[in-house]
Structure 1
Amino acid sequence: MLSSRRRTALVAATACLALLPVQAGVSAAQRPDADAGPAVYAVPGTDTGTRTQIQRIGAEVLSVSGNVATVEATPQQAGQLRAAGIDLGAGTPAADTLPERGGQRAAAGDFPPGDEAYHTYDETVAELDRISTEHPDVAAKTSIGTSFEGRDIPALKISDNVQEDEGEPEVLFDCNQHAREHLTTEMCLRVAQRFTDERARPENRAAAEDRVLWVIPIVNPDGSAHDVESGQYQGWRKNRQDAGTDLNRNWGYKWGCCGGASDDPNAETYRGPEAFSAPETAALRDFIDSRVIGGEQRIKAAIDFHTYSELVLWPFGHTTDDTTEGMTQEQYDRFERVGTEMAGTNGYTPQQSSDLYITDGDVLDWMWSEHEILAYTFEMYPAESGGLDGFYPPGDVIDRETQRNDQAVDVLLREAGA
């Protein structure tokens, strides 16, 4: 849901863009950090093993469509991949795959022209304040902690009796662990608005009945703010702690176990010097731990939203085995059944997380292994892209691509009480 100001700005910007010539990209010299030299490659014929090998070398698999992986690699990493027999072909400078919105620069700290519909960190906080003020009977804003640079990490509790603790099943929706994945913040806001502003609709009221929802729109506020602070996108993924830590490789379960994260601080998948070394992951861990009341974890189900590739993923990421320590066949079958049902509502591809590539130290595995939370990762729109532009879909798709997950959210809410 957009305010009238944001809708007006979006319409005006879109009209202006329609009058400008289409520009596929600009030279690397015009881009920030152009001297770093990474390039984006389309790598055909990949499988789980190939993609895991790419990640272990330190390159990053940006997305997967079928068996074609879109990969970002530095010149050194590209040389290692070729030496390992992986056919990269010709690459495109990564900076040239960042989107241009008519060649215009936004005001510092805001999204580029045409993308005003996205919420900045301050606008997200203001929206949560609005919701809790206008719906005090069902919504309460709180905080799970602070980021490395001292920003609050806000959360919204939604419940029929929000000031009471009635012991109902709880469902967690968290977004924006990775800074450049701004569409996920809009997804969390969609959940928040749907079950407050639109709660009177019978289908919404029925879906949330006897449930408590926790919505955390920006887990990585420093990285998210940094990504747009210059008025142009930076393609930034990590938090802002030193060279940056990949928050979704910093979780404690199987941290650093299986080659699914990097020990190089300059790598995009750097796991940090130790598990929970990033204050943002530690804050979210502490919040989830705090929902153990009377020896029972109240949070029964969760979705961790990411972009992009249009996937529904379930544990485990650290192993390709379906059943292993901490996962029985019955438990796996439930993950697969619910994940497949959710994917049937939004058109995503359902699969075990490790089918994409091996990861370790991710939130999905931790939530299940530590608390047996029925936890999924959604990789949102688009299904494929040319490179970094896939992280920055235009603002006019926000409503469509967030509402696309309404039924999937309802499925998980239902399942939380099973």
Structure 2
Amino acid sequence: MRKFLLILMFVLITLPLFAKDMLVEIDVHNRNNFKTIYRGKFDIVDRQGTVFTLYIKDKQLDELKSLGFSPKVLIPDIQKYTAEGIKRGARIDTSLTGHYHTYAQTVVIMDSIANANSSICKLDTIGYSVNGRLILAMKISDNPNKKEDEAEVRIVGCHHGNEWPSSEIPLYLIAYLTEKYGTDSYITDLVDNREIWIMPIFNPDGHEAQTRHNANDIDLNRNYGYMWTADGGDTKAYGQPETEAMYKWSQRENFTLGLSYHTYHPAVNYVWNYTPNRAADSTMIYQYAQIYGDSTTAHGDSYWVTEGYDWYQTTGDLNDYSYGIDGVDDVTIELCHEFMPDSTELDSTWHINRGAMLATINKAGQGIHGYVIDSVTGDTIKESVINITEIDWPVFSDRETGDYFRDLLPGTYTVEAWANGYREKTISGVQVYSDSGTKLDISLAPDTTADYYAFKLVEADIDNASTPVINAHTSWALGKPDGKYVPLNNNGQIVLDMGQNTPILGNFTVFEGDDGTSNETYKVYASNTFNGPWTFIADGSGTETFSISGSGLSSARYIKIKDSGSNASSGSTAGFDLDAIENIKTNGPIAIILKDSLDDTGGDGKLDAGESASLYLMLKNVGTDTLKNCTAILTTNSAYISIFDSTCNYGYIAAGDSTYGNDYYTISASDSTPSQYEINFSLIVTGESYTDTLIYSLTTGGHSDYLVLDLDPDHSSGPVIDSILKALNYNGSYTTTFDSTVFPNYSSIFVCTGIYSNNAHIDNTEGNALHNYLVNDSGRLYIEGGDVWYYDPSQGYYDFCPDFGINATSDGNSDLATIGGITGTFTAGMSFSYSGENSWIDHIDPTGGGFVIFDNSSPAYNCGIANDAGIYKTVGVSFEFGGLTDGSNNSTKSALADSIMHFFLGNTGLRNNTAYSLANGKELFNVKNHFSNKLNILFVSPITSGAKLKIYNVTGRKMLSKDLNIRKGINKFSLNTKLHTGVYFIYLKSNNKEFKRKIFIIE
């Protein structure tokens, strides 16, 4: 603990040296001006619809007027307003009732409480402000001078210096916990089983001057290194001594949950703030936020619970940094209904928030925890990564003790753990119970042959106003190259920590992810401090190996990859795509699996049930010496897979070279192999004085009935659609992540974009991916959204209207009422009242092959169009499925969902090709690929069964025989054949029924 000699108290508040600050309100009628506000130097403190409340400098008032706004001044002088509020009752006492406290008073109170409660309190200085003031944090725990295997909670006040209530409520909590410890069993249990860190004032200089910003006029809550932009006024992330101190403190400690306090509009604001998409832990994050909100409701003031982006967008804030970098669920709590309410309101504000704060501290103990341990020495591993397979967002072991804590909702999970120098480990069936922690120590076996990889993210500045990367999964840059990648965006950059004990000493390899554009360019920098100075290493292109030799650095802990700004890719995969950074640990040969290729019986590049395949694996030597006399043996423990030829000879592989070898592996999948199932293999690679085991995996083929792609920030429809389709026994998946590589695995896709102002926009890259799914995969596509048809295309987003047979006629209004089905279509007889979001509902008419399936009663306009284009089918609506109210008979959401699926999976086929009927009116279609020996067969089956397919020519000669596994819904098979122009007969026998049809092939 820092020792304090004496602090003189001055109740008189000195006048600030900052320019005068103001609070103004503007109405942004034109949504095109939203970006002007977001990307301008205007600090947003509230948004209600189109009305923004801005914290500005007085000189910015004229700037707003010049932009065409008519600002209404709410507070003409923030400093004067704050000073007047303080004078109403500043004094020192440890009961803290009804008084504001200056920074100096707060320091004395914290020091006094720490000295009086030394058995449970530790006062620490985590850093200094621009003007040298102490940034203090109090640790409250039963053993405050010892780090234990306990969940750590971080509570931070006063990022913005004028928001004084945000420092008072954490101060109340310090006093309350210390006063109640030993007498209140609930509080005693929390203190005994948590490490609670409380920092009332993070911005001492701003607090002292009553200004939002710090002494360098920088908004500290826009200065962190996750999706940082220059919005906060600085030239780089972590550019202020306060935010640098927060970063270092958060790396030294290992927080589980966090609360960050602000004022102006009572709210519980959870991540993300930079994107409308939900976080990987969105279900837990929302539930915890709702617990806080519900508690405030029960205690006198109902705080609004909102995802940050839904309120207004921010970049580089503490919430997003905490979750994006450290895996900490950090929530912003906005107190009060103004910046500086009368001090007499502080007691009631504390009462409203007390139960919620305690509930959050309690929830920090729900999940899994333990130590990561070296299985040979028994020592803890200080830098390890713990991931939950079902969530795929990591947390990290404590850098000092090796313990970890992962907050989770009750359920059963699969836990993955890895560390540099150790073999990965996966533990299945880990059970988590409500309000309790499951102890799980994880032992990792040392691996002296393995190379090292980036261990943790430091900074990700990849958000860009013109081409935003939405919901970038930045943790995918960690660990080994695995095909998952992080797009850096145009001119974006990412900084990675290679590990304190595993810095780069020589060579390292940057692996490029495959977004369809190869050899994208970037710049590489290295440093031994997280925020520079940076040493330029080299320009890079694609996957490339670099060396720090000659750079002047003998080692490098941190690597920065910056996009060159000249790559052709755009949209959600813009810029260089980073898969991994490998620290090549030692001299000698090192083999990795660089590429794979599957030549299967069906010819679609996927291993289906009952199918055999030739598997080609390319090895690359990323080491420094030639790999001599290399051979490899493929093995698997999967009961579904048989390996008939398991050995391949790769010969000599020079450093930097790659080869498929002179052979391939022959594998087959049993008839019972599940669709979309991951098969894991081990490839045992040997050479002269070299042995290594590489992990390889592939996913089996087959189709699922549907994918719900929920891009709607509010998730108003996606979960409803998914739940109903599952109840109707359709097989499918739900996701909030746009990943076009999985689209061919689904017979139909339901895309939810939402209604303004809680809506997502589909850019041209994403739109083209959905278009390609329609035309290349005979897709079935449903899209809903209030702006996706008319407004979004006018703003440069993808125009789906041609694909959907839609003519968008108007941006609409807020006038959805009764939505009626159309006679003669699959919605005949349906009628729904509408209670969903209802703003700017696009008006749409049919064109081409489109036909109306829904209209609005009054005012009369069309709001649903279906289209049967032969090769694909679509349904487009401008309302939210989740906003429909169930009525009688077939006017239910379940009946509508089933009708859409019947429309999608009913009469299917390829335009301009001969169709021939099977059972129950289903149809089978065939078309030959003119540029290969592949015959593509697409059909729909009402059941799941096995089948035998045979093809004969007109002389009766059998040209092909194949066993198929047919599933209910759309089936697509791509068969390798050498069929030339002519007439052929297809026999398909399934479920004791046989169907015979004649086909024509024209080359």
Task: Give the TM bin, normalised by the shorter chain.
Answer: 0.7 to 0.9
Q: Could you list the per-position Cα deviations for residues 81-115 of structure 1 after superposition, in whole angstroms to 9, with x for gaps in the alignment?
A: 42xxx5x36545622895388xxx79xxxx32345
The aligned counterpart of 2:224 is 251
Partner secondary structure for residue 136 of structure 2: strand
1:77 aligns with 2:63: yes
Rounded to whole Å, the distance in 2 between the matches of 1:122 and 1:306 is 20
Amino acid of the structure 1 residue aligned with 2:265: S
1:310 aligns with 2:266: yes
Aligned-pair distance for 1:225? 1.0
Rounded to whole Å, the distance in 1 between the matches of 2:53 and 2:238 is 29
Describe the shift of the 1:246–1:304 C-alpha distance in structure 2 as closer, same or farther (beyond 3 A). same
> CA contact under 8 A between 2:129 and 2:242: conserved in structure 1?
yes
Larger Rg: 2
Count of aligned residue pairs for this structure pair: 337
> CA contact under 8 A between 1:186 and 1:217: conserved in structure 2?
yes
Aligned-pair distance for 1:222? 1.1
Rounded to whole Å, the distance in 2 between the matches of 1:98 and 1:46 is 34
Q: Could you list the per-position Cα deviations for residues 304-326 of structure 1 after superposition, in whole angstroms to 9, with x for gaps in the alignment?
A: 1111211111111111112xxxx
1:395 to 320, 339, 343: 343
Rounded to whole Å, the distance in 1 between the matches of 2:363 and 2:306 is 18
The aligned counterpart of 1:113 is 88
Rounded to whole Å, the distance in 1 between the matches of 2:288 and 2:179 is 27
Rounded to whole Å, the distance in 2 between the matches of 1:255 and 1:396 is 38
Rounded to whole Å, the distance in 2 between the matches of 1:46 and 1:218 is 38
Q: How does 1:207-356 map to 2 (within 5 A)?
A: 207-227=190-210, 236-241=211-216, 244-256=217-229, 262=231, 269-270=232-233, 272-291=234-253, 298-322=254-278, 327-328=279-280, 331-346=281-296, 347-356=302-311
Partner secondary structure for residue 348 of structure 2: helix
1:202 aligns with 2:177: no
> CA contact under 8 A between 1:37 and 1:75: conserved in structure 2?
no
Amino acid of the structure 2 residue aligned with 1:275: A
Partner secondary structure for residue 205 of structure 2: helix
Rounded to whole Å, the distance in 2 between the matches of 1:365 and 1:113 is 36
Rounded to whole Å, the distance in 1 between the matches of 2:247 and 2:255 is 12
> CA contact under 8 A between 2:64 and 2:71: conserved in structure 1?
no
The aligned counterpart of 1:362 is 317
Partner secondary structure for residue 179 of structure 2: coil
> CA contact under 8 A between 1:39 and 1:93: conserved in structure 2?
yes
> CA contact under 8 A between 2:319 and 2:329: conserved in structure 1?
no
Partner secondary structure for residue 77 of structure 2: helix
The aligned counterpart of 2:164 is 182
Q: Could you list the per-position Cα deviations for residues 378-399 of structure 1 after superposition, in whole angstroms to 9, with x for gaps in the alignment?
A: 11111xxxxxxx2111111111
> CA contact under 8 A between 2:268 and 2:304: conserved in structure 1?
yes
Rounded to whole Å, the distance in 1 between the matches of 2:311 and 2:163 is 18
Aligned-pair distance for 1:77? 2.9
1:170 aligns with 2:152: yes
Aligned-pair distance for 1:35? 8.8
The aligned counterpart of 1:43 is 27
Describe the shift of the 1:311–1:53 C-alpha distance in structure 2 as closer, same or farther (beyond 3 A). farther
Describe the shift of the 1:46–1:391 C-alpha distance in structure 2 as closer, same or farther (beyond 3 A). farther
Rounded to whole Å, the distance in 1 between the matches of 2:350 and 2:195 is 20
> CA contact under 8 A between 2:151 and 2:364: conserved in structure 1?
yes
Q: How does 1:396-411 map to 2 (within 5 A)?
A: 396-411=344-359
Aligned-pair distance for 1:147? 1.0
> CA contact under 8 A between 1:65 and 1:309: conserved in structure 2?
no
Partner secondary structure for residue 257 of structure 2: strand
2:114 to 118, 121, 132: 132
Rounded to whole Å, the distance in 1 between the matches of 2:28 and 2:138 is 42
Amino acid of the structure 2 residue aligned with 1:165: K
Rounded to whole Å, the distance in 2 between the matches of 1:301 and 1:193 is 21
The aligned counterpart of 2:129 is 147
1:375 aligns with 2:348: no
Rounded to whole Å, the distance in 1 between the matches of 2:322 and 2:49 is 28
Partner secondary structure for residue 330 of structure 2: strand
The aligned counterpart of 1:386 is none
Aligned-pair distance for 1:63? 2.5
Amino acid of the structure 2 residue aligned with 1:340: Q
Aligned-pair distance for 1:66? 6.4
Q: Could you list the per-position Cα deviations for residues 165-200 of structure 1 after superposition, in whole angstroms to 9, with x for gaps in the alignment?
A: 222111000111111111111111111111112222
Rounded to whole Å, the distance in 1 between the matches of 2:177 and 2:40 is 44
Rounded to whole Å, the distance in 2 between the matches of 1:401 and 1:158 is 22
Rounded to whole Å, the distance in 1 between the matches of 2:17 and 2:218 is 18
Aligned-pair distance for 1:217? 1.0
Partner secondary structure for residue 303 of structure 1: strand
1:55 to 38, 52, 68: 38
Amino acid of the structure 1 residue aligned with 2:197: W
Question: Which piece of structure 1 moves more, 306-315 or 193-202?
Answer: 193-202
Amino acid of the structure 1 residue aligned with 2:287: R
Describe the shift of the 1:90–1:366 C-alpha distance in structure 2 as closer, same or farther (beyond 3 A). closer
Aligned-pair distance for 1:39? 6.2
Return the structure number with greater strand share. 2
Describe the shift of the 1:145–1:333 C-alpha distance in structure 2 as closer, same or farther (beyond 3 A). same
Could you tell me the TM-score, scaled by structure 1's length? 0.73
Describe the shift of the 1:287–1:46 C-alpha distance in structure 2 as closer, same or farther (beyond 3 A). farther
Describe the shift of the 1:378–1:51 C-alpha distance in structure 2 as closer, same or farther (beyond 3 A). farther
Describe the shift of the 1:276–1:96 C-alpha distance in structure 2 as closer, same or farther (beyond 3 A). closer
Rounded to whole Å, the distance in 2 between the matches of 1:46 and 1:215 is 42
The aligned counterpart of 2:488 is none
Rounded to whole Å, the distance in 1 between the matches of 2:173 and 2:283 is 27
Partner secondary structure for residue 44 of structure 2: strand
Aligned-pair distance for 1:150? 0.9
> CA contact under 8 A between 2:21 and 2:55: conserved in structure 1?
no
Describe the shift of the 1:90–1:376 C-alpha distance in structure 2 as closer, same or farther (beyond 3 A). closer
Describe the shift of the 1:120–1:37 C-alpha distance in structure 2 as closer, same or farther (beyond 3 A). closer
1:95 to 67, 77, 85: 77
Amino acid of the structure 2 residue aligned with 1:255: W
Rounded to whole Å, the distance in 1 between the matches of 2:363 and 2:51 is 33
Gapped regions of structure 2 (runs ≥ 5): 1-14, 92-98, 297-301, 367-1003
> CA contact under 8 A between 1:52 and 1:357: conserved in structure 2?
no
Describe the shift of the 1:91–1:181 C-alpha distance in structure 2 as closer, same or farther (beyond 3 A). closer
Rounded to whole Å, the distance in 1 between the matches of 2:255 and 2:50 is 35
Describe the shift of the 1:128–1:52 C-alpha distance in structure 2 as closer, same or farther (beyond 3 A). farther
Rounded to whole Å, the distance in 2 between the matches of 1:279 and 1:402 is 30
> CA contact under 8 A between 1:170 and 1:212: conserved in structure 2?
yes
Q: Could you list the per-position Cα deviations for residues 25-51 of structure 1 after superposition, in whole angstroms to 9, with x for gaps in the alignment?
A: xxxxxx98999695622538798x866
Aligned-pair distance for 1:206? 3.7
Gapped regions of structure 1 (runs ≥ 5): 1-30, 228-235, 263-268, 292-297, 383-389
> CA contact under 8 A between 1:142 and 1:155: conserved in structure 2?
yes
Partner secondary structure for residue 190 of structure 1: helix
Structure number with greater CO (CA < 8 Å, separation at least 6) is 1
